[in-house]
Amino acid sequence: SNLIMWQINHNFSSRPDLALTYYPSVYNFFWFVSRTVNLLNSAANFTFPVMAAVKKSLTSALRGAGTKFFLTSVQHDSKDPTLLYFDDFLGDGDVNIEGKLCFTHT
């Protein structure tokens, strides 16, 4: 849990190819962590006391740096600025040997 909390608090998403070694979306990562935190927050008590510390640290990370990540990564549609989206496709910023953008998707 400390590794997950550290990743959230230290902007691991700036290098998803290193931080998320099997290339899941950073949004999937946050979804899994938030589901875990939701389950921890819904528990009345824990069999192992360390789980209370895990609950506290992950909740704090998501409410702080996790929320900031989402608020700063939202993008506005160029044709309709009232539409918002999140872009997390790793292959949309590649450049070829001449420095020109080359997309790996269509």
Quick: pLDDT tens for 44-53: 899 999 999 9
CA atoms in the 13 A half-sphere facing the CB of 39: 8
Q: What tokens appear for 81 in the block?
A: 């600025």
Contacts of 83 (CB under 8 A, 6+ apart): 76, 77
The arithmetic mean of pLDDT across residues 24-39, rounded, is 87
11, HSE (Cβ side, Cα atoms, 13 Å):
4
Top-ranked range on mean pLDDT: pick from 4-8, 11-15, 48-52, 98-102: 48-52
Model confidence band, residue 35 (pLDDT cutoffs 50, 70, 90): very high
The pLDDT, as a whole number, for residue 106 is: 45
Q: What pLDDT band is residue 29 in, cutting at 50, 70 and 90?
A: confident
Tens-digit pLDDT profile for residues 40-90: 999 989 999 999 999 999 999 999 999 998 899 888 888 898 999 887 765
Residue owning tokens 């996790």: 66
Give the whole-number percent of the chain exceeding pLDDT 70: 75
* pLDDT for 102: 64
Q: What is the pLDDT at residue 90?
A: 57
The conformation of residue 101, written as its DSSP 8-state character, comes to B
Residue type at 88? D
